[in-house]
Amino acid sequence: MEKRRLGTSEIKITPIIMGTWQAGKKMWVGIEDSEVIKAIREAFNAGITTVDTAEVYGDGYSEKIVAQALGNVREQVVLATKVFANHLKYDQVIEACHRSLKNLNTDYIDLYQIHWPSGYFHSEIVPIEETMNALNKLKEDGKIRAIGVSNFSSKQIAEACQYGIIDSLQPPYSLFWRIIEKEEMPYCVENKISMIAYSSLAQGLLTGKFGLEHKFAEGDHRSKNRLFAIKENYERVQTALQKLRPIAERKQCTMAQLAIAWLIAQPQTNAIVGARNAEQAIANAKAADVKLSEDELAEIDAIGQIVTEHLDDRPVMWDF
């Protein structure tokens, strides 16, 4: 899999990134450690050498699972993790980073990201300068190699950039969720900031596996996703999926692979994709082999707008 430069750093990432929210188990159902570890290993074997996690995914449990899966190939992978919104004071950032280093069983983190801006989830407001000072210190000390932000607006990214180099933005972005194309994408392209899209399959919708009558198990956070939970949105999703199926058949790929291929063809965009098992991980990696022409990209783009043109400007998909 051909690698890409992360922002202006020397780090090279794969355009498809292994997501490990599910490895933390919290807010997911039916997750088996052994299966997730096998999935991460098979993703690596298939060429996905960049892995994304966070301290809040199962309170560090996801990071520990990543360490179990990739400990013996540490120098061959790029590890990205995140500090949560309630740990953004200077000392808290330093402490959180050291916890993540321990969980990941490594002495450096390739990409360390602010998971949510200060103030989210009832967290204390902390000036971005203070947080960035801590991140810059960690970078100077060799504990982290690059700094990223997640769920930031273009204005918030610009403010963070006043105090240090930001190499990546991690936003929710998929064919069915495209709010960042208005402001954040142009800002990132202009400033050479890589975009690492999460929920790149719209939490599984773009696999085409969820029919009109699907109900999620109790405890599955996807039940609060507005693409699923609002009837009119879900009906439009089903219409769009029906139009995407013939294209996937024509390209001899799955619906998920088509959606990933479209996403990583967007300006400076890379896709985080999770997997519950090895089969899913291997299939995700094969999306890098799906090549789309300009006409095909435009055709898929128009189908996605069946869903997106009816959405409001709220940046995230959930009503938590």
Instruction: Say if residues 252 and 291 touch (Cβ distance below 8 Å).
Output: no
CA distance 119 to 44: 36
Nearest CA among 152, 254, 247 for reference residue 201: 254
Query: What's 77's DSSP letter?
Result: S
290, amino acid identity: V
Measured CA angle at 314 (ends 309, 316), to 5 deg: 105
What is residue 13's predicted lDDT score, i.e. its pLDDT?
98
Q: To which residue do tokens 């009906």 refer?
A: 235
251, amino acid identity: K
166, amino acid identity: I
3-state SS assignment for residue 241: helix
Can you give the C-alpha Rg of the chain in angstroms? Answer: 19
3-state SS assignment for residue 225: strand
Instruction: Say if residues 151 and 119 touch (Cβ distance below 8 Å).
Output: no
What is residue 83's predicted lDDT score, i.e. its pLDDT?
98
What is residue 283's predicted lDDT score, i.e. its pLDDT?
97
Q: For residue 125, how far is the Cα from the chain centroid?
A: 25
Distances (CA, A) of 41 to 105, 108, 281: 16, 20, 9
Nearest CA among 18, 35, 88 for reference residue 273: 18
- Written as tens digits, the pLDDT of the chain (320 aa) is 999 999 999 999 999 999 999 988 887 778 899 999 999 999 999 999 999 999 999 999 999 999 999 999 999 999 999 999 999 999 999 999 999 999 999 999 999 999 999 999 999 999 999 999 999 999 999 999 999 999 999 999 999 999 999 999 999 999 999 999 999 999 999 999 999 999 999 988 999 988 767 777 766 667 777 787 788 988 999 999 999 999 999 999 999 999 999 999 999 999 999 998 999 999 999 999 999 999 999 999 999 999 999 888 876 766 65
272 beta partners: 17
Instruction: Say if residues 160 and 117 touch (Cβ distance below 8 Å).
Output: no
Q: Where are the chain's structural domains?
A: 4-204+255-290
168 beta partners: 148, 194
Q: Is the whole-model pTM more than 0.85?
A: yes
- SS (HEC) of 163-182: CCCCCEEECECECCECHHHC
Which tokens is 148 given? 């990223």
**Residues marked as catalytic:** 57
CA distance 254 to 298: 19
Choices 3.90.1150.10, 3.40.309.10, 3.20.20.100, 3.30.420.40: CATH for 4-204+255-290: 3.20.20.100
What is residue 269's predicted lDDT score, i.e. its pLDDT?
98
Which tokens is 157 given? 């990214």
